[in-house]
Chain A
Amino acid sequence: MSTGKTYDPFVGLQLVSEMWEKQLNGLLYKLTDNKEFVQTANIGLDVYSRYLERFRKNQELIAALMNIPTKKDIANAAKMSIQAEEKIDNLEEQIWSLQDGLNLANKGNLEMFQEMVRIVKQLQTEFQTIAQEVSETKIMKADLQEIRQGLFNMKIIQVNLQELRKEIDGLKSLKSDSQTVPAAAMKTVIEKEKPKQKKEQEKKQNKELVLTGAEPSKKL
């Protein structure tokens, strides 16, 4: 009876080879899994290594005698370039840390400048309010000066009134004297005294003006 499948010899070959491979590897595994093999392998490795070392040593010796650079010489030169590369790498890393430090400092500076700008802005607004207050104070000062001037004028009036009062008092005393001294003699005395009194009054007035110390303020 046919299954409809064609015979593929490679599939069979694959199965057989896999089986053989496993079995042969298993056999080799068992053959080598013993102390004797390990010891022999170690001796073999040692002998090989000893001869390799001797061969290399002789090769170096001959090359040195003939002044021929060996692979070791080239390797040593290459090692120096590797060391230089490592140094450059380390320098690059140091530059990185510097860059990072600078970036951090810049960040700090930026924050500081931002704070400064904020403070300056705050100061600006404060200055504006102060300036407004100063202008208001100036107006108040001008008002106060006006009041002062008014007071000064009132003082002059007061002085004048005092003078007038004195004159009235003088007139009152004259009136009482006139009742005792003849009127004609009194009249001459009064006429003589009048200009004198006037002068004295003027002097006094000037003196008082100076003494009060209320000089008119200098205009700003």
Chain B
Amino acid sequence: MSTNALGINMSPQIKREAKRWNQLYKIMTEPKPDIVPTPRECVWKRNKTTLWFHPAKEKRYETPIFLVYSLLNKVYILDVGEGSSVVGGLTELGYDVYLLDWGSPGLEDRELTLDNYIVDYLENAVKRALRHSRANDITMAGYCLGGTTAAIITSITKLPIKNLVLAAVPIDFSIGIVPDKWLEGIQKGQLSFDRFAEAHETLPSEFLYLMFRMLSPIYGSPKINLFTRAHDEKYVEKWRRMDKWTKDTASFAGAAFKQLFNDFYKDNKLLKGELLIGGRKVELKNIKCPLFVFSCSRDNLILEQQSLPVMELVSSEDKTYKVFEGGHVSLALTGAFAGIMDPWLSAHSKEILKVQHN
């Protein structure tokens, strides 16, 4: 039993409850937490896109990592704060990290297509990263839809890509977590988002938030989890950052949205090898570099079956596929991505030879 400032004896249970309600009160009254990024410098900027460089704390590998996240998310999904950051984890392990921030498109970007995003922004950013790092080659690592774009760029570019890492990546768009009839409707043209995208020109972030919510309309578990563990300060801190990210979705260029639905969800062109990006045909068989693909066992956004076809389509001789315990969002927001990637990547990255002075 402990005594508080008023001299009242408090049992551990009461103390815990007091802390729980105190924390909950704080969450309701205080503003959302600031996300402090891992130390970084801006390498390149074009329109809303920014290429960030996160130097390794103690550089161990010559091959830098280029991280690509989904166009539907905000950049801090991969750098959500110390202790849970994918970028921070990788820099601590000795990798130089380049992270491409897609930004949030405005009305002026309504005509941006996936071709623009992949060729004008992503390919140029990789070029800039290679020049900035003075490295001979680079590792591409993509998460979710960022993995799809990373696979596309690797198959069409002539830039020296040493390794390709794809985490929870959708390659086959003919299956998904949405009801089958919806997918069938999209594939048969009975459900079209073309006019909707044209009317909006640039889809507002609120619509994208609603779209994510539609995937699981009843969504009370995060709040119940918070109530249950509100006495744990560390958990509350992480929860607040995750909550901020969940509600902070990016807007989406109308032309890119139309292309995403028509080329990927409707025609499944990537899997069929019919996709054209920047006038170049995207054929995954052009990927010859070492490949590491992994899925999460409790992923409720991207199914394992959506990622698996990539293993058959690429020409890489050195390819690994693994399934890890965890969820789709937690993979990035807990920083687990870095730990999962490291054992494979360290064996495939050029290590810096240390000169020993006697």
Contacts and interface: CB of A to CB of B under 8 A. Distances in A.
Interface of A: 6, 8, 10-11, 13-14, 17-18, 20-21, 24-25, 28-29, 32-35, 37-39, 41-42, 45-46, 48-50, 52-53, 56, 71-72, 74-76, 78-79, 82, 85-86, 89, 96
Interface in B175-190: 179-182, 184-185, 190
Contacts of A42: 185, 190-192
Contacts of B179: 29, 32-33
A49 B196 contact: yes
Contacts of B224: 10, 13-14, 17-18
30 contacts: A10-B224, A14-B225, A14-B228, A17-B220, A18-B221, A20-B218, A24-B217, A25-B216, A29-B179, A32-B179, A35-B181, A35-B185, A38-B181, A38-B182, A38-B190, A41-B191, A42-B191, A45-B192, A45-B195, A46-B195, A49-B198, A49-B199, A49-B200, A52-B199, A53-B198, A75-B110, A78-B106, A82-B108, A85-B47, A96-B131
Interface residues of B, number: 36
B29 interface: no
B227 A10 contact: yes
Nearest to A52: B199
Interface string B311-341: 0000000000000000000000000000000
Q: Name the 10 nearest CB pairs between A and B, nearest first.
A: A33-B179, A38-B185, A75-B107, A75-B108, A78-B108, A49-B199, A10-B228, A49-B195, A52-B199, A24-B218
A25 B217 contact: yes
Nearest to B202: A75
B134 interface: no
Given A11-B228, A14-B228, A71 B181 contact: no
B193 interface: yes
B124 interface: yes
B301 to A, nearest CB: 14
B32 interface: no
Given A13-B227, A75-B108, 4 more contacts: A45-B196, A78-B108, A85-B46, A89-B46
